[in-house]
Amino acid sequence: MENLDYARLLAETADLMEIAAEDGFRIRSYRNAADTLQGYPERVEDVMADPARKLTEIPGIGKGIAAILEEIRERGSFARRDELMETYPPTALEMLKIPGLGPKTIAALIAHFRVTTLDDLERLCREQKLRELPRMGAKLEEKILKGIASLRQSSGRFHIHFAAAIAEELAGYLSAVEGVERVVAAGSLRRGRETAGDVDLLVTGAAAEAALDRFVKHPRVGEVLGHGGTKASARVGIEDIQVDVRAVPAESFGAALQYFTGSKAHNVALRQLALKQGYTLNEYGLFKLDNGERVAGRTEEEIYAALGLAWIPPELRENQGEIEAARDGRLPQLLELADMRGDVHMHTRESDGRFSMEEMAAAAAERGYSYIAITDHSKALAMANGLDEARVIRFAEKMREMDRSGLPLRVLSGLECDIRKDGRMDIDDEALARLDLVVASVHSHMNMESAAMTERLLAAIENPYVKIMGHPTGRVLLHRDAYVYDFEKVAGEAARRGVAMEINASPERLDLHAPLIRIARSKGCRFVISTDAHHVKHLANMRFGVTMARRGWLDRDGVLNTLPVEQFLGSLRGNEG
Ligand code: DGT
Ligand code: CA
Ligand code: CA
Ligand code: ZN
């Protein structure tokens, strides 16, 4: 057995332990061990076979886990896992993936209904059987039905930060092969889509083929789906994400990069344009139709140029007008990460963040920002220890004091204020007036009818202290759909009142996304990009928000937190002029 197989058994068992409501500490130790093992460069079985060595030398492997690994080696499973597998059907693991369904509910459903397949569960919900159980009702049935539908729809797709991390890890690993010149991610990842179906890597250089051999030996590679001289495909990690690696000669590297970056719709349009001009375009190059002569292929730039086009940034390649714009010299000068000067939505320990205001400020300064806004939750989010009026006022005072105390960056006092069901703010105006900025967000009653939700949001932006609409559609990727409302109407009203739209850079949200950014911009909206960080390391997610803005065709001028702090504050609603 390979390390990945050991890791998988531990991770699965941790999931089942969660349903069995076992001790969180123990569950975490299983998960940590699984993480360590799947990335460990040496085979654990080799370590076990060597009498001079001990498993506990592997970081994250304690005595308990070591004994489990020995047991797995002997008989392919271990006692705790066997017990859990007897109690719970294999679907239990699948049920954990249903958005909105927690381990406790799953345990109750299994105990009471003996659910063994997802279809069973779906039927139970349709037949309204769940409401027979205490604390379960029509709402849960509806939630599960929706969850199963979205699981079926999203299954096989992965969050972009996860896919990007896999791509970066493998690119580093393959670049280390002597004679490999470049390793580049193509596909949806390069275009910056919010989720990826798989990871597409291109390798070039004299040793490109050797890189394919090295790829399939990576410790986290599981099932190898194919391995030839120009392409290798395999499943990677516990998550089983597919990775395609292609070896490409330098003379057609640009053509391959262009082809495998896609999108398919962009490629189809580009190929038609080539045909009209007497060329044929494929992953090997651009060739004359009449005599097959190679015209371009080494770089993307020369291919686009030969077709009379400016080079098109990958984020725009969705066949949404970018080819015409490239022809007419109308491509926007897209926003870049380096343009960002501040991050204006983040949480601290004052509500549900993990770090103090001081720690967030220091981490943000390290990223080169000149300002941040601290925007903890308001009291409606009691679960998140949201602030009431008195705390808002005290905390704002503290922020102002700290801001004067010689920090390397400016800390703006803010709040992520809940929008109540009726559209009123969760905090009274007197308290809001003390703050530099208020981000207004919906965190409850997300299933309202469209008309009511539209009214609710319109009412929210009527409040003069609201400067920014936080995560404007509420969607959580691969988990929860956007709430339904008349977006154009709300965007138009936000533009009229000078309320900025947030592009939430959390890779779990990425909200707004490109189509809505373009609609909002056409209505005259301005934007901020914020990480909504709850941890210092989340501040690094800004790059995903910038990618989303680029996919929405935004340049620097469209994004307010590219401005120096005084101008940024001056650009907010009510502060202009
Ligand atoms: P994904 O993986 O679902 O997130 O999305 P993509 O865009 O990465 O799709 P993928 O991995 O199937 O293919 C990568 C690129 O290769 C795709 O964007 C365009 C190109 N490609 C793949 N199949 C075709 C095809 O049948 N025709 C054309 N024109 N291009 C294709
Ligand atoms: Ca792909
Ligand atoms: Ca692919
Ligand atoms: Zn929020």
Chain position carrying tokens 């390397």:
408
268 lines ligand 1 (CB under 6 A): yes
Q: Give the closest residue (by CA) to ligand 1 atom 30.
A: 264
Given a cut of 90, whether residue 114 has pLDDT beyond it is no
Closest ligand to Cα 269:
1
pLDDT, position 577: 59
Answer whether 263 contacts ligand 1 (Cβ < 6 A): yes
| High-pLDDT (> 70) share of the chain, % | 100
* Interval between CA 274 and ligand 2 midpoint (Å): 24
Query: Domain spans of the chain?
Result: 3-154, 158-248, 264-328, 337-571
CB atoms within 10 A of CB 395: 22
pLDDT band at 116 (very low <50, low <70, confident <90, very high): confident
CATH of domain 264-328: 3.30.210.10
Two tokens, residue 46 = 């080799």
Tell me the CATH number for domain 3-154.
1.10.150.110
Mutate to test the pocket of ligand 1, among 245, 264, 271, 312 (most ligand atoms within 8 A of CB): 264
Q: What is the DSSP letter of 558?
A: G
H/E element holding 317?
A: none
- Ligand 4 centroid vs 418 CA: distance in angstroms? 8
Give me the pLDDT at residue 375, please.
98
The model's confidence at residue 521, banded by pLDDT at 50, 70 and 90, is very high
The reply to whether ligand 1 has any atom less than 6 angstroms from the CB of 188 is: yes
The residues whose Cβ lies within 5 A of ligand 2, an ion, are 187-188, 198, 200
Residue 346: nearest ligand to its CA? 4
Measure the CA–CA gap between 526 and 558, rounded to whole angstroms: 6
- 501 touches 469 (CB < 8 A): yes
End-to-end CA distance of the chain: 69
* Distance of alpha carbon 395 from alpha carbon 357, whole angstroms: 10
Span 356-379, pLDDT tens digits: 999 999 999 999 999 999 999 999
Q: Tell me how crowded residue 179 is: count the other CB atoms within 10 A of its CB.
A: 11
Of the segments 57-66, 102-111, 403-412, which one has the largest average pLDDT value?
A: 57-66
Equal fold, 3-154 vs 337-571: no
Question: Whose alpha carbon is nearest atom 15 of ligand 1?
Answer: 260
DSSP string for 517-555: HHHHHHTT--EEEE--BSSGGGGGGHHHHHHHHHHTT-B
**For ligand 1, mutation pick of 160, 199, 200 (most atoms within 8 Å of CB):** 200
Residue 27, sorted as left (phi over 0), alpha (psi -120 to 50) or beta, turns out to be alpha
- Contact predicate 240/234, CB 8 Å: no
**Mean pLDDT on 62-91:** 92
Q: Name the phi and psi angles at 306, rounded to 5.
A: -60, -25
Give the mean pLDDT of the chain: 94
Provide CATH code, domain 158-248.
3.30.460.10
Ligand 3 centroid distance, CA of 199 (Å) = 6
User: Has domain 337-571 been given CATH number 3.40.640.10?
Assistant: no
